[in-house]
Chain A
C-alpha cells in the first residue's frame, strides 16, 4: 500500500508541490505572480526583522532564500516563477516529515515506558526507561473497531479538539494503543526545538508547520502538502480549532484551511480514478482532568494582548521542571485523560454507515459524489463551493464535539463554582469576577453540593439521550454522587497547580477564579443551570 506505509523521499514531495504551485501560477496573470512573490518577500522580511537576534537555524536559511527571491521581484515573470518554485522547494523540505512504519513501531514501542521522559528529555536516548504506562491511565473511547475497518478502504482525517501541546503525542499513542493505523499531523516548528520531542513527533507522524509564516505562498504549499498526503492515503490529523483553546471552551469556530484540503484530495482522487479515493472525517474529543498550560492559556484569553498571540513560546510547556511535575503527578492519576473517537462523517458532515456510505435523514444511502460531480459523473472543481461545504463540515464537527465531550469532575465542579459566583455577582463582568477578593469568592460546601446535585440531574438526562458523555466517580456507600464528584475534583486540583482551582477550608471552598473559569468553560456552551441561588 502506498502512502504512510511507504514513505516517499523528500525530493519527490518537493517535485509534487512544485507541480501544484506551477498549476496555480499558470492561472495567474503577470501582476498576480508579482504580487504573490512580493507579498512573500515582504512578510518574510518583516517577520525576520522582528525576530532578529532570536533566529532559529531555519530562519537563517529562510533569510537567504527570501533575499534571493527579493532580487527576482525586479525581473521578468519567468524569473519570478523560478523564485517562487525555489521557495516552494525549500518549504517542502522543511515541512515533509521523515515518517516510516518502522520508526513508528519503534517510537510507539518505547513510548509506553517513556512518555514522562519524552516531555523533558534533552536527548532521544534519555527516553529509554521510566515507569509510566499511559495505557492504564488513558481511556480510549468510541467505535475503534469500526475505524480500523474503515481505514482499510478510506483515508481518515482525524479532527480533535485542542487543549494542550500534549494532545498530539497523546492521540498518537491512543491511536497506537487502540490498534489504529498511524496518522500524520502538522506540528508547530517551536515544538521541534526539544530534540527528544522532535524525535518522537516526527516518528509519530508529525510534519512541520511554521505558523510564523503568514504569506499565501507558504500557506498554499502547506495545503498542497496536505492534499498530496491525503491523496497518497496518509491518514491525517488536523486540529480544526487551529490552536489550543485559550479559554478552555470547546471549539465553536473552526478554521477551514487545512480541513478544506480533505475535499480537494477527495475530488482529485475521484477525477484521477484512484482505487480508494474516499475520505472520511472522524471527530475526536480530548478531555483532561488538569491541563498543563491552563494558567497561561486563561491569562491569554483574558488579556487583550494574549488574544492575538497565536504561538506561545513561554508557557508551562517550555519549562521542563513544570512539565516533569505535571507528568509525574497528573498523568499518573487514574481517569485523568480521555480520548474519544466519534462517529465518522463524510466531507460535508453527513453521517456514514459502517461501510462508509453517506446516509440521508432516513438512514438511506446517498451518492455523495453528487456534491462535486455533474450529472454525467464528471468532477467539477469549484473552490468557492468547497469552502461552503467545509463550513457545513465544521458545523457538524462542532455538534459532534458537544455530543462526544467527556465531562470529568474538575470541569463540572469548576462550572458549578463559576455559575455560583456569577449568580452571586450578576452585575460584574468576567474580568471583574476573576478579580474578586478571597472572601468574596469563597463558596460554602453545602451550596456547591446543592449545585452539583442539580447539574448531575441534567447531565444524566442528556447522557441518557446520548447528548454528552460522563466520566464521573462512583460514590462510596455513605456518599452522595455530588460528594464523590467534589472530593475527586478537590483531589485532582491539589495535584498540580500552584494555587488549586478549588481548595477545602473547613466548611468553605476557596476558589481560584481564573482556573475555575478555565475548567468550567469546558461546559460553557451547555446551558446547564445550577438552580435558584439561595
Chain B
C-alpha cells in the first residue's frame, strides 16, 4: 500500500516508521526542506493522488492550509493524525477536510503512541476511527505491526475529541508535578478530566466509552507521564511562574468553544484556560476547583 504522510515533523516520521514496519511504502509530503530517512515530495496533490491512504500529521492549525494545497477529491482517503481541534475556529479537523474539499472518506487516529518511542520501535497502540468501516480498516492495515497495535472504531467524534482533551489535561498533570502535589492528582486529572471530556463527547454524539479507551485514558496516561510532551511542559512552565501560555490557551479555547455550543460545563478545562490566559494564579484555580460543591461521581 502507498501511504502518503503530510507533515514531516517527528510525528510524521513516526507514522512513516509504523507504515514501513507494517510492510508498506511510506512517502512524505513536505513544504520547505525535505525530510530525511524516507522518500518525499513537495508536490502534495500528486502525493494524495498516488497514495491509497494519506495521513495528515501537521499541527492542527496547519490542516486547513494542507487540504487547500493538496486538493483531495472524492476518491481519496484522508486520516487526521494531528491531535486537537482547529485552534482558530474550534472545528473538528475532519470537518475542516470536508469543508475545504470534496473528500468525504475521512478518519482520525489517536492513542498512546509517542513519536520518540515509536521511532525507537517501542511497543505502542492506536485507535483508527472513521464513520466509514473501510477507512478504519485501511488505516489499521497501514499501521498495524509487531510494534504497534491498531484498533478500529466508528466513533470519529469521540477519538477526535479525546485527542484534543488529552493535550489540555496533560497541562494540569505537568503543573501538578511541578508543584509536587503528589501522584493522587494524576488520578484525579485522568478520571475527572476524562469525565468532563466524556460529558462533552456524549453531548456531541460521541460514545462515552471511547474516553475510557486508547484515545482517552491510554493517551492521557502516556502523555502525562512523558516530560517531553508539549502540554506537560507547558503545565510545568505555568507552575514555575510563566504568566501565560498561548499554546495551552489555544488548545483549551478550542475545546471550550465547542463546549459552549453544546452547553456543557467543563470546570477543569475552564480553569486551565484561565491560568493559561494569566487571569488567575495556578494555586487559586486549584483551590477554587477543590472547593466546588461536593457531588456524586
| Interface membership of A307, Cβ < 8 A | no
Q: Which of A369-394 contact B (CB under 8 A)?
A: 369-371, 373-375, 382, 384-385, 388-389, 391-392
Residues B133 and A384 in contact, CB atoms below 8 Å apart: yes
Instruction: Say which residue of A375, A382, A384, A389 sits within 8 Å of B104 (CB atoms).
Output: A389
Check A371/B104 contact, CB under 8 A, given A366-B74, A382-B134, A388-B132.
yes
Instruction: Say which residue of A370, A384, A388, A391 sits within 8 Å of B73 (CB atoms).
Output: A370
Instruction: Say which residue of A370, A382, A385, A391 sits within 8 Å of B75 (CB atoms).
Output: A370
B152 / chain A contacts, CB cutoff of 8 Å: none
CA distance A375 to B75 in the complex (A): 7
A361 / chain B contacts, CB cutoff of 8 Å: 99-102
Check A385/B101 contact, CB under 8 A, given A367-B74, A370-B75.
no
Residues A384 and B102 in contact, CB atoms below 8 Å apart: no
CA distance A348 to B104 in the complex (A): 9
| Interface membership of A360, Cβ < 8 A | yes
A31 to chain B, nearest CB (A): 23
A384 / chain B contacts, CB cutoff of 8 Å: 132-134
| Interface membership of B131, Cβ < 8 A | yes
A368 / chain B contacts, CB cutoff of 8 Å: 74
CA distance A532 to B76 in the complex (A): 50
Residues A373 and B75 in contact, CB atoms below 8 Å apart: yes
| Interface membership of A289, Cβ < 8 A | no
CA distance A368 to B100 in the complex (A): 16
| Interface membership of A405, Cβ < 8 A | no
Residues 317-360 of A, flagged 1 when their CB comes within 8 A of B and 0 if not, give: 00000000000000000000000000000001010000000101
CA distance A4 to B260 in the complex (A): 51
CA distance A375 to B134 in the complex (A): 15
Residues A350 and B132 in contact, CB atoms below 8 Å apart: no
Residues A358 and B102 in contact, CB atoms below 8 Å apart: yes
A384 nearest in chain B by CB position = B133
Check A366/B102 contact, CB under 8 A, given A371-B75, A375-B75.
yes
A374 to chain B, nearest CB (A): 8
Instruction: Say which residue of B73, B99, B134 sits within 8 Å of A385 (CB atoms).
Output: B134
CA distance A99 to B101 in the complex (A): 42
Residues 131-142 of A, flagged 1 when their CB comes within 8 A of B and 0 if not, give: 000000000000
Tell me how many residues of B have a C-beta within 8 Å of chain A.
14
CA distance A393 to B100 in the complex (A): 17
A365 to chain B, nearest CB (A): 10
Residues A360 and B101 in contact, CB atoms below 8 Å apart: yes
B131 nearest in chain A by CB position = A388
CA distance A248 to B268 in the complex (A): 41
B263 to chain A, nearest CB (A): 15
A284 to chain B, nearest CB (A): 24
Residues B132 and A385 in contact, CB atoms below 8 Å apart: yes
Size band of the interface chain A makes with B: 20 to 34
A230 to chain B, nearest CB (A): 20
Q: Which of B99-141 contact A (CB under 8 A)?
A: 99-102, 104-105, 131-134
A373 nearest in chain B by CB position = B75
Give the A-B contact count at a CB cut-off of 8 A.
44
CA distance A238 to B102 in the complex (A): 25
B171 to chain A, nearest CB (A): 35
CA distance A350 to B99 in the complex (A): 11
B132 / chain A contacts, CB cutoff of 8 Å: 384-385, 388
A220 to chain B, nearest CB (A): 21
B137 to chain A, nearest CB (A): 10
Residues A370 and B74 in contact, CB atoms below 8 Å apart: yes
B99 nearest in chain A by CB position = A361
Check A392/B104 contact, CB under 8 A, given A382-B134, A385-B133, A385-B134.
yes
A373 / chain B contacts, CB cutoff of 8 Å: 75
Residues B74 and A371 in contact, CB atoms below 8 Å apart: yes
A382 / chain B contacts, CB cutoff of 8 Å: 134
- A375, A388, A391: residue with the most chain B Cβ atoms closer than 10 Å: A388
B102 / chain A contacts, CB cutoff of 8 Å: 350, 358, 360-361, 366
B52 nearest in chain A by CB position = A375
A389 / chain B contacts, CB cutoff of 8 Å: 104
CA distance A375 to B132 in the complex (A): 18
CA distance A396 to B131 in the complex (A): 17
CA distance A371 to B102 in the complex (A): 10
CA distance A193 to B211 in the complex (A): 53
Residues A367 and B73 in contact, CB atoms below 8 Å apart: yes
CA distance A225 to B154 in the complex (A): 30
A358 / chain B contacts, CB cutoff of 8 Å: 74, 102
Q: Which of B58-109 contact A (CB under 8 A)?
A: 73-76, 99-102, 104-105
A372 nearest in chain B by CB position = B74
Residues 230-274 of A, flagged 1 when their CB comes within 8 A of B and 0 if not, give: 000000000000000000000000000000000000000000000
- B74, B132, B134: residue with the most chain A Cβ atoms closer than 10 Å: B74
A350 / chain B contacts, CB cutoff of 8 Å: 102
B104 / chain A contacts, CB cutoff of 8 Å: 348, 371, 388-389, 392
CA distance A368 to B105 in the complex (A): 13
B75 / chain A contacts, CB cutoff of 8 Å: 367, 370-371, 373-375
CA distance A361 to B96 in the complex (A): 12
CA distance A367 to B75 in the complex (A): 9
A386 nearest in chain B by CB position = B132
A348 / chain B contacts, CB cutoff of 8 Å: 74, 104
CA distance A348 to B133 in the complex (A): 17
B130 nearest in chain A by CB position = A388
A256 to chain B, nearest CB (A): 13
CA distance A410 to B210 in the complex (A): 47
A369 nearest in chain B by CB position = B74
CA distance A392 to B73 in the complex (A): 15
Give chain A's interface residues, CB within 8 Å of chain B.
348, 350, 358, 360-361, 366-371, 373-375, 382, 384-385, 388-389, 391-392
Q: List 29 A-B contacts (CB under 8 A).
A: A348-B74, A348-B104, A350-B102, A358-B74, A360-B101, A360-B102, A361-B102, A366-B73, A366-B74, A367-B73, A367-B75, A368-B74, A369-B74, A370-B74, A370-B75, A370-B76, A371-B74, A371-B104, A373-B75, A375-B75, A384-B132, A385-B105, A385-B132, A385-B133, A385-B134, A388-B104, A388-B131, A388-B132, A391-B131
Q: Kindly list the 5 A-B residue pairs having the minimum CB-CB distance in the complex, ordered from nearest.
A: A370-B75, A370-B74, A371-B74, A388-B131, A384-B133
Give chain B's interface residues, CB within 8 Å of chain A.
73-76, 99-102, 104-105, 131-134
Add 16 more A-B contacts to A366-B73, A370-B76 (CB < 8 A).
Answer: A360-B73, A360-B101, A360-B102, A361-B101, A367-B73, A367-B74, A368-B74, A370-B74, A371-B74, A371-B75, A382-B134, A385-B133, A385-B134, A388-B131, A388-B132, A391-B131
